[in-house]
Amino acid sequence: MTPELKERIDSLVNQNKIMVFMKGTKLMPQCGFSNNVVQILNTLGIPFETVDILADQELRQGIKEYSNWPTIPQVYINGEFVGGSDVMIELYQNGELQQLVEVALAS
Protein backbone atom coordinates (compact mmCIF):
# COMPACT_ATOMS: atom_id res chain seq x y z
CA MET A 1 0.00 0.00 0.00
CA THR A 2 1.31 3.41 -0.92
CA PRO A 3 1.80 6.04 1.81
CA GLU A 4 -0.70 8.23 -0.06
CA LEU A 5 -3.39 5.56 0.04
CA LYS A 6 -2.78 4.86 3.72
CA GLU A 7 -3.07 8.59 4.44
CA ARG A 8 -6.31 8.76 2.43
CA ILE A 9 -7.83 5.84 4.34
CA ASP A 10 -6.62 7.27 7.68
CA SER A 11 -8.33 10.53 6.79
CA LEU A 12 -11.64 8.87 5.83
CA VAL A 13 -11.65 6.72 8.96
CA ASN A 14 -10.72 9.52 11.35
CA GLN A 15 -12.90 12.29 9.90
CA ASN A 16 -16.12 10.27 10.06
CA LYS A 17 -17.59 8.87 13.29
CA ILE A 18 -19.03 5.93 11.35
CA MET A 19 -17.37 4.99 8.06
CA VAL A 20 -18.38 2.06 5.87
CA PHE A 21 -16.23 0.82 2.99
CA MET A 22 -18.70 -1.10 0.86
CA LYS A 23 -19.77 -2.24 -2.59
CA GLY A 24 -22.09 0.48 -3.84
CA THR A 25 -23.50 3.37 -1.83
CA LYS A 26 -25.85 3.63 1.14
CA LEU A 27 -28.63 4.54 -1.29
CA MET A 28 -27.77 1.69 -3.65
CA PRO A 29 -25.79 -1.16 -2.08
CA GLN A 30 -24.32 -3.51 -4.70
CA CYS A 31 -24.14 -6.68 -2.59
CA GLY A 32 -26.19 -8.35 0.12
CA PHE A 33 -23.52 -8.00 2.80
CA SER A 34 -23.16 -4.27 2.19
CA ASN A 35 -26.95 -3.97 2.21
CA ASN A 36 -27.09 -5.75 5.61
CA VAL A 37 -24.75 -3.16 7.13
CA VAL A 38 -26.66 -0.23 5.61
CA GLN A 39 -29.98 -1.63 6.90
CA ILE A 40 -28.60 -2.08 10.42
CA LEU A 41 -27.20 1.47 10.55
CA ASN A 42 -30.42 2.90 9.06
CA THR A 43 -32.44 1.00 11.69
CA LEU A 44 -30.37 2.71 14.39
CA GLY A 45 -31.20 6.04 12.73
CA ILE A 46 -27.65 7.33 12.92
CA PRO A 47 -25.52 9.33 10.50
CA PHE A 48 -22.83 7.40 8.66
CA GLU A 49 -20.68 7.80 5.58
CA THR A 50 -19.87 5.26 2.89
CA VAL A 51 -17.20 4.82 0.24
CA ASP A 52 -17.89 2.71 -2.84
CA ILE A 53 -14.84 0.50 -3.24
CA LEU A 54 -16.09 -0.69 -6.64
CA ALA A 55 -15.31 2.77 -8.01
CA ASP A 56 -11.66 2.65 -6.89
CA GLN A 57 -9.60 -0.52 -7.48
CA GLU A 58 -6.62 0.78 -5.46
CA LEU A 59 -8.86 1.46 -2.46
CA ARG A 60 -10.64 -1.88 -2.90
CA GLN A 61 -7.38 -3.75 -2.35
CA GLY A 62 -5.83 -1.22 0.02
CA ILE A 63 -8.64 -1.31 2.57
CA LYS A 64 -8.16 -5.06 2.98
CA GLU A 65 -4.48 -4.51 3.78
CA TYR A 66 -5.26 -1.54 6.02
CA SER A 67 -7.61 -3.52 8.28
CA ASN A 68 -6.03 -6.93 7.75
CA TRP A 69 -9.58 -8.11 6.97
CA PRO A 70 -10.19 -9.92 3.66
CA THR A 71 -13.81 -9.03 2.95
CA ILE A 72 -16.04 -6.06 2.18
CA PRO A 73 -17.95 -4.30 3.72
CA GLN A 74 -15.75 -2.93 6.47
CA VAL A 75 -17.11 -0.74 9.24
CA TYR A 76 -15.10 1.73 11.32
CA ILE A 77 -16.59 3.43 14.36
CA ASN A 78 -14.69 6.26 16.04
CA GLY A 79 -11.57 5.40 14.03
CA GLU A 80 -11.57 1.75 15.10
CA PHE A 81 -12.18 -1.20 12.79
CA VAL A 82 -15.30 -3.04 13.98
CA GLY A 83 -15.78 -5.73 11.32
CA GLY A 84 -17.93 -6.73 8.40
CA SER A 85 -21.51 -7.82 7.88
CA ASP A 86 -21.50 -10.88 10.19
CA VAL A 87 -19.86 -8.95 13.04
CA MET A 88 -22.29 -6.04 12.64
CA ILE A 89 -25.30 -8.41 12.71
CA GLU A 90 -23.99 -10.07 15.87
CA LEU A 91 -23.23 -6.74 17.60
CA TYR A 92 -26.65 -5.39 16.63
CA GLN A 93 -28.49 -8.47 17.90
CA ASN A 94 -26.75 -8.49 21.28
CA GLY A 95 -27.10 -4.72 21.81
CA GLU A 96 -23.38 -3.91 21.73
CA LEU A 97 -23.58 -1.96 18.46
CA GLN A 98 -26.02 0.55 19.92
CA GLN A 99 -23.59 1.18 22.81
CA LEU A 100 -20.60 1.56 20.46
CA VAL A 101 -22.53 4.04 18.32
CA GLU A 102 -23.78 6.07 21.29
CA VAL A 103 -20.23 6.42 22.64
CA ALA A 104 -18.90 7.39 19.20
CA LEU A 105 -21.57 10.02 18.57
CA ALA A 106 -21.19 11.48 22.07
CA SER A 107 -17.44 11.99 21.73
Q: What are the tens digits of pLDDT across the range 57-92?
A: 999 999 999 999 999 999 999 999 999 999 999 999
Cα–Cα nearest to 77, from 19, 35, 10, 7: 19
Rg (CA), the chain: 13
Look at residue 107 and tell me whether its pLDDT is greater than 90.
Answer: no
Question: What is the reported pTM?
Answer: 0.95
31 a known binding residue?
yes
Structural domains for the chain: 3-106 (3.40.30.10)
Helices 96-106, 85-93: crossing angle, 10 deg rounding = 100
In this structure, the chain runs to a length of 107
Alpha-carbon gap, residue 73 to 50, rounded angstroms = 10
Name beta bridge partners: 49.
19
Contact 74, 50 (CB under 8 A): no
